[in-house]
Structure 1
Amino acid sequence: MAYAVTQACCNDASCVSVCPVNCIHPTPEEREFGSTEMVHIDPRICIDCGACADACPVDAVKPIDLLRGPEEAYAALNAAWYDGTEPQEWGPPHFPAAPPAGARDLRVAVVGTGPSAGYAAQALVTAGVRVTMVERLSEAGGLIRFGVAPDHPGTRRIGSRFAALREHPRVKTRLGVEVGRDVTHQQLLRDHDAVLYAVGASDHRRLDVPGEELPGVVPARRLVGWYNGHPDAPRSVPLDTERAVVAGVGNVALDVARVLLTDPDRLAGTDIARPALAALRDSRIREVVLLGRRGPEHAAYSNSEMLELEHHPDLDVVRTEEPLADLPPAERPRVVLAFSSTLAAIEGEGRAERVRLVRPTGPETLEAGLVVPAIGFRGAPVPGLPFDDATGTVPHEAGRVVGGAAERAYVVGWIKRGPSGGIGANRQCAEETVATLLADVAALSARR
């Protein structure tokens, strides 16, 4: 009974390091690792030991014989990844490099408590470093707590790993402390040997179309924060409309569409914010139109996210190249995928009421009282650090901040590499930055 990796895969490769027969690929050392949605188990080699399932932080690895419903497709998806390849030979064991001398005497401040901060703190603690995690909000968790859809409990489960880490005797957590408001970089350096920033991408990319500032236009970042209870999110979202238009076809866009159309009774068993759940019970939205500027082959959503949407019990999925106004009325809630469609303007008297589109069939006007830009996130400047406005990142060399006055500053996650990659991508990113930090300390100690 071989195992298979399923939708919830966070791609942090925890399973790769424990597999005794090297049957999980791509590994972090392989070129494909940065471009695949998930890792895959080769059923030809799997010896059914279950080590990968035990190591998986999000319970994404399951025996093939136990897959049910939409998850059954993952048996074939895992096997298909190896089509035309020869079974891999066992690779040499990988042992992490020993921390440099003096690491156990270090104190490092990690700004943020999301996944990139968690992986960085994990690597630092493993090296014996004492860590202070600094979070501007009154609740820890970052992207895992406030960015993952509430109906994805498997993905959220990785948060328990980082919560346990924050209880480690060498880790302290300071909540409600914002760098630039409550404390400066230099002040952090008084008590720490270095400061590592894991602040994510806290802004959103703009559509730059007329009407973008109208009430009823709610960027995906803010809407996701609304249904997850983020303290900075809007208190309400306009749901008094039969149609919502989402500009974008990435995973966040699919999350938004799914949450807006899921039966609230189903959402009641999740961690969704209770005010949002109450509002969704009174929602009039019956259709969510997702706009992709290019064809479906360029869509940014993952196969697993689309599989979940297509098998959702509460809604239908429709793809169309015809004029949207020609779609027949739906008997139940639906998601409409409209590719090769450009949002040209948002119009309305005092609020968003309709959108003007440019589609292969010609210009169209579509009624919509809720418009959600979901075309990506963007990093915001960090007080005291240099900032590249073109990329929305902090300039760095392997995680070490360069080009500014801030000393002993390091970055990890989206503020380092831009808003790309899922939760698991932060593991390798963090390990690179921590390796740089520890090497800098070793070099400094050698010169003393």
Structure 2
Amino acid sequence: MTDQTRPLRVAIVGAGPAGIYAADALMKSDTAQDPGVSIDLYERMPAPFGLIRYGVAPDHPRIKGIITALHKVLDKPNIRLLGNLDYGTDFTLDDLNRFYDAVIFSTGANADRALNIPGVDLDGSYGAADFVSWYDGHPDVPREWPLEAEKVAVLGVGNVALDVARVLAKTGDELLPTEIPPNVYEGLRNNKAVEVHVFGRRGPAQAKFTPLELRELDHSPTIEVIVDPEDIDYDEGSEHARRTSKQVDMVANTLQDWAIRDVGNRPHKLFLHFFESPHEILGEDGKVVGLRTERTELDGTGNVRGTGKYRDWDVQAVYRAVGYLSQNIAQLPFDEQAGTVPNEAGRVLENEAGDGPQRFMPHTYVTGWIKRGPVGLIGHTKGDANETVANLLEDRSAGRLNTPEEPSEDAVVKFLEGKQLPYTTWQGWYRLDAHERSLGEAEGRERVKVVEREDMFRASEPHKA
């Protein structure tokens, strides 16, 4: 049973928005009063913020502004950041159970969901997650990206597909004022793409774009957004979706307006195609030379069926933006198909449904995309965090949390030092942040992102408290 005369000790694995929101929920709870709560946020990268730093397009400062709110949480003295530490390699769940009353996993989703069509393994077929990591300066991906294709296909009609298409269609100079590192600028400056084709299997009313993200496509002076009038079609299910969702209706209206306007003369063309289901990525000598799609039609419910009519598109690269997928977490159960840790409202389930009575892993919880899958916007993870933390605190009241052998904050530091694991801190982030801003100031930009892990680590000066 948890000793309630000392602060509640909680480890959160993953310092992206989901993990930070969970820390905030704990700090705002009654538990934060005497005797208080003590939280350690573990992060695999040397810097915090996860998806915000490594999953949001660089020309979206509005979304990156969420960092301001996350900063305020991490500034709280009861929260400690321990960066550059990889769960499953540097430490285990058994290790965490030595030091904490409870553990929350918020490891997100950073891999691409599989698309099972012929040709996905061809040279020139890419996962969107890998491309996003490249243009966001992730240290664990190659520094160069092949951008030789003049005509490119993007599969998917969500915001990630729009980000990928927009970055491919913009010029390097348009993106230079953002925080992109030098290697990304050089790659995009030499990008040969002049046509980008975005393909959706269903219709305009089923697109997963948010209205603002969609409209931003048309703001670039170099990108001509083109929609075929024949792709504007609605059935009863689609009309219902428009009537019951303001966002769906706004997206549909924007697409309609683009379909009926005259095509302008901006140098880069970005086509939004609907009712085209990817059937095969075409190859020659191991390289992408085209995309074959099957035309679909609405079935009355908002879903579609194939028509048996196929079309080949002249493209030399294909980017698959069909969804993110979380990766297995050591010592936790994992649903490979859903890409989530089985859970009930954030409590980790030890056994799959149907294998007898449900059993929960003691004092082990999940939040964010590893809990519910990679759907929704960043702000939706707040609700996840609140639900998970509420159940954690309920378990505490019922005496169901862990009794750690070494609950002091110093014990964790001794453990890391004993294993000779160098780690970064929140104070180190401030130093890295100042360094990136100084790099940007020299070029008249807000910041220039540091890419190399060693350079991030050095700028953080981890030996300083």
Same fold (TM over 0.5): yes
Q: Flag the 1:139–1:447 CA change in 2: closer, same or farther, 3 A.
A: closer
Partner in structure 2 of residue 333 of structure 1:
268
Q: Do residues 185 (structure 1) and 101 (structure 2) align?
A: no
1:15-34 aligned within 5 A: none
Partner in structure 2 of residue 395 of structure 1:
342
Could you tell me how far apart the structure 2 residues matched to 1:155 and 1:350 are?
39
Partner in structure 1 of residue 17 of structure 2:
115
Partner in structure 2 of residue 357 of structure 1:
293
TM-score (norm 2): 0.70
| Residues 104-113 or 287-296, more deviating | 104-113
- The Cα of 1:318 is off from its aligned counterpart by 0.7
Secondary structure class of the residue paired with 1:218: strand
- The Cα of 1:386 is off from its aligned counterpart by 0.9
- The Cα of 1:321 is off from its aligned counterpart by 6.3
Indicate conservation of the 8 Å contact 2:153/2:317, yes or no.
yes
Indicate conservation of the 8 Å contact 1:111/1:199, yes or no.
yes
TM-score (norm 1): 0.72
Secondary structure class of the residue paired with 2:288: coil
Could you tell me how far apart the structure 1 residues matched to 2:401 and 2:341 are?
28
Could you tell me how far apart the structure 2 residues matched to 1:104 and 1:435 are?
20
Q: Flag the 1:263–1:447 CA change in 2: closer, same or farther, 3 A.
A: closer
Secondary structure class of the residue paired with 2:331: coil
Partner in structure 1 of residue 47 of structure 2:
139
Indicate conservation of the 8 Å contact 2:362/2:402, yes or no.
no
Could you tell me how far apart the structure 2 residues matched to 1:194 and 1:423 are?
24
Indicate conservation of the 8 Å contact 2:101/2:401, yes or no.
no
Partner in structure 2 of residue 150 of structure 1:
58
- The Cα of 1:255 is off from its aligned counterpart by 0.8
Q: Do residues 344 (structure 1) and 291 (structure 2) align?
A: no
Partner in structure 1 of residue 105 of structure 2:
197
Match of 1:417 among 341, 348, 372: 372
- Deviating above 4 A after TM superposition, structure 1's stretches of 4 or more consecutive aligned residues are 328-331, 445-448
- The Cα of 1:320 is off from its aligned counterpart by 1.9
1:23-422 aligned within 5 A: 102=4, 105-127=7-29, 128=32, 129-320=37-228, 332-346=267-281, 347-359=283-295, 362-403=309-350, 406-422=361-377
Could you tell me how far apart the structure 2 residues matched to 1:368 and 1:154 are?
32
| Residues 102-111 or 283-292, more deviating | 102-111
Q: Flag the 1:102–1:314 CA change in 2: closer, same or farther, 3 A.
A: farther
- The Cα of 1:344 is off from its aligned counterpart by 1.4
Partner in structure 2 of residue 444 of structure 1:
399
Could you tell me how far apart the structure 1 residues matched to 2:124 and 2:278 are?
15
- Letter in structure 1 aligned against 2:286: G
Gaps of 5+ in 1: 1-99
| Residues 344-353 or 215-224, more deviating | 344-353
Superimposed CA distance per residue, residues 401-428 of structure 1 (whole angstroms, 9 cap, x where no aligned partner):
1125853110000111111110110111
Identical-residue share of aligned pairs (%): 40
Could you tell me how far apart the structure 2 residues matched to 1:370 and 1:273 are?
24
Secondary structure class of the residue paired with 1:424: helix
Could you tell me how far apart the structure 1 residues matched to 2:120 and 2:328 are?
23
Q: Flag the 1:447–1:320 CA change in 2: closer, same or farther, 3 A.
A: closer
Partner in structure 1 of residue 356 of structure 2:
none
- The Cα of 1:373 is off from its aligned counterpart by 0.4
Could you tell me how far apart the structure 2 residues matched to 1:174 and 1:253 are?
33
Q: Flag the 1:286–1:425 CA change in 2: closer, same or farther, 3 A.
A: same
Indicate conservation of the 8 Å contact 1:198/1:412, yes or no.
yes
Q: Flag the 1:446–1:338 CA change in 2: closer, same or farther, 3 A.
A: closer
| Residues 142-151 or 395-404, more deviating | 395-404
Secondary structure class of the residue paired with 1:196: strand
Bigger RCO of structures 1 and 2 (CA < 8 A, at least 6 apart): 2
Query: Once superposed, what is the RMSD of the aligned Cα atoms?
Result: 2.6
- Letter in structure 2 aligned against 1:385: L
- The Cα of 1:237 is off from its aligned counterpart by 2.3
- Letter in structure 1 aligned against 2:368: G
Gaps of 5+ in 2: 232-262, 297-306, 352-359, 404-465
